[in-house]
Chains A and B, each alone.
Chain A
Amino acid sequence: MYVAVKGGERAIDNAHAWLAEERRGDCSVPELSVAQIREQMKLAVNRVMAEGSLYDPDLAALAIKQARGDLIEAVFLMRAYRTTLPRLAGSVAIETGSMAVVRRISATYKDLPGGQILGPTFDYTHRLLDFALAAEGDVPAAPTAPATPGPVPHVTGFLNREGLIEDTQRCDTTPPDLTREPMELPTVRPLRLQALTRGDEGFVLGLAYSTQRGYGRTHAFVGELRIGWVGVEVEIPELGFAVEIAEIELTECETVNQFKGSKTEPPQFTRGYGLVFGQSERKAISMSLVDRALRWRELGEDNSGAPAQDEEFVLMHCDNIQATGFLEHIKLPHYVDFQSELELVRRLRSEAIVLTEAAE
């Protein structure tokens, strides 16, 4: 029998009022605007867009404000909002090769067409707290140099010309969508990439790190890491042709991995791929390492039993909203469940005590 219990409305209302007050903090300190969060907490905004799987910097900034800076809570708000939106279309697949890059580096080639462009990176900073930032002030404008417009070719393209790296099969099929159909195992690579790009950064990072430490080792080099702006083209039904309706910022990582060759393939390099909304290079590199580790079956490699090679383990646990939803539900009332456990333990104890007494 299920007994519904009501109550707690007043306590809940008051808790929410206090939450609002705590969100605001000390009223003698100026309130943050959504625009301030969007502009000055950009990497947090990017993470919330990537894991919320919805590109909208203003919404992500609002979610961060509402969530008091709890990024997983903010991702939750984005996911909930997303479910209210009708799906108007799927885009034409974007061309990252024509990205307007703000950063583009390769760990495999020093001199490559287009050059090594560092962009606004934390690399080479000393990770010393900068107390000057504690004071408010204007920053000097970043230096500029004449830009040479032109395509910045993918590094893997060079290796491809020599046949040293596996080729990709270009096609225009409609990819499977885990937001529409429940994921079924075994999956295909497009579905894995969708799960990983919206997966929790910490979880994907941990798995990627585990492959580097030997749990499903794939010997990855960062062939190329690029951040920049890409146009999004959509077929507009009322027009009958595709139009570039937006530009979004993305981070892309391609790893180049050793491959001994198999029965059907000669020795060559293989690839792992990461593509993430916003500037999220830790996530993009992690994604490409995990993507590559999950490809063991298709490449005829050994399964060493490593967590990063187990697609069920990776894909069923990388979503932080699913994870936190199930994890946090255990703090909600389980009075009836626990009551039955309590009765069970009491009965087992009394039986055990009777047996002990009988033995004595």
Chain B
Amino acid sequence: MPTPPPETRKAWISVLAKSPPARLAALLPRLPQHDLLRAPETGAVMVRGRVGGSGEPFNLGEMTVTRCSVRLVEGAVGHAWVQGRDTGHAIRAAVADALLQTDAAPEISRQVLQPLREEAAAVARARAEKAAATKVEFFTLVRGEDQ
């Protein structure tokens, strides 16, 4: 089994982590048999900002995160860290990560990752387009003495 380059795995784990849990469940309704290497565990990640946006780090506050690790029957190990407290989301994301390291990868990529990527892009685009509509276009009024 070839090990995929970390960039690719980094990207797909991110897509799975940020997916709406209900949407991931709809796209990946049936999970193959798997063992829980680490049962889903909800905890906190301390989010850090930077002083002045670019300086030294400071602790901004925590966010809820759920992590989980699974092993498929054929041996592939999947990990997930997802935002929020949805244990089903974490298990599903971990199983998807494992599947993406098997021969099922092209199918999972097409049926799960691609729709999730497109939907996330659509949400971001809709937000950006609404923001763009509120961009101020300044114009200069003609003053009386100029006429």
The answer to whether A234 touches B45, judged by C-beta atoms less than 8 angstroms apart, is yes
Per-residue CB contact flags for chain B residues 120-138 toward chain A (1 = under 8 Å, else 0) read 0000111111111111101
Question: Are B50's CB and A170's CB within 8 A?
Answer: yes
Chain A proximity of B80: nearest CB distance (Å): 9
Q: How many whole Å from B23's CB to the nearest CB in chain A?
A: 15
In the complex the two chains form, is A243's CB within 8 Å of B13's CB?
yes
Interface check B55, CB cutoff 8 A: yes
Assembly CA distance A156 to B50 (angstroms)? 14
Complex contact B53–A54 (CB within 8 A): no
In the complex the two chains form, is B41's CB within 8 Å of A175's CB? no
Chain A hits for B65, CB < 8 A:
88-89, 234, 245-246
CA distance A91 to B44 in the complex (A): 10
Cβ–Cβ < 8 Å partners of A242 in chain B: 10
- Which of A177, A239, A246, A248 sits near B9, CB closer than 8 Å? A239
Closest CB of chain B to A100's CB: distance in Å?
Answer: 6
Contact indicator A241/B47 (Cβ below 8 Å): no
CA distance A296 to B78 in the complex (A): 51
B48 touches A154 (CB 8 A): no
Interface of chain B residues 60 through 75 with chain A (CB within 8 A): 60-65, 67, 69
Complex Cα distance A30/B81, Å? 37
Q: Contact between A55 and B64 (Cβ–Cβ < 8 Å)? A: yes
Q: Which residues of A contact B60 (CB under 8 A)?
A: 94, 194, 197, 275, 277
A189-233 interface code vs B (CB 8 A; 1 in, 0 out): 111011001100000000000000000000000000000010010
Bound together, the chains give a CA A243 to CA B17 distance in angstroms of 9
Known: A111-B138, A194-B59. A102 touches B83 (CB 8 A): no
Range of interface residues on A (Cβ < 8 Å) = 35 or more
Pairwise interchain contact B17-A175, C-beta atoms closer than 8 A: no
Complex contacts, B132 vs chain A, CB 8 Å:
117, 144-148
Instruction: Select from chain A the residue with minimum beta-carbon distance to B125.
Output: A147
Q: Is A173 an interface residue (CB 8 A)?
A: yes
Whether A248 lies near B54 (C-beta < 8 A) is: no
Contacts of A82 in B (CB 8 A): 44, 62
Query: A189 contacts which chain B residues (CB < 8 A)?
Result: 51, 56, 58
Q: Does A340 contact B (CB under 8 A)?
A: no
Bound complex: CA A239 to CA B78 (Å): 10
Q: Is the CB of A97 within 8 A of B54?
A: yes
The answer to the question of A142 belonging to the interface, with a C-beta cut-off of 8 Å to chain B, is: yes
- Asked whether B82 is an interface residue with its Cβ less than 8 Å from the other chain, the reply is yes
Chain A interfacial positions (CB closer than 8 Å to B): 49-50, 53-56, 58-59, 82, 85-97, 100-103, 110-111, 115-120, 142-149, 154, 156, 168-179, 189-191, 193-194, 197-198, 229, 232, 234, 236, 238-239, 241-248, 252, 254, 271, 273, 275, 277
When A and B form their complex, which 3 residue pairs have the shortest distance between CB atoms, in order from nearest? A168-B55, A190-B58, A246-B83
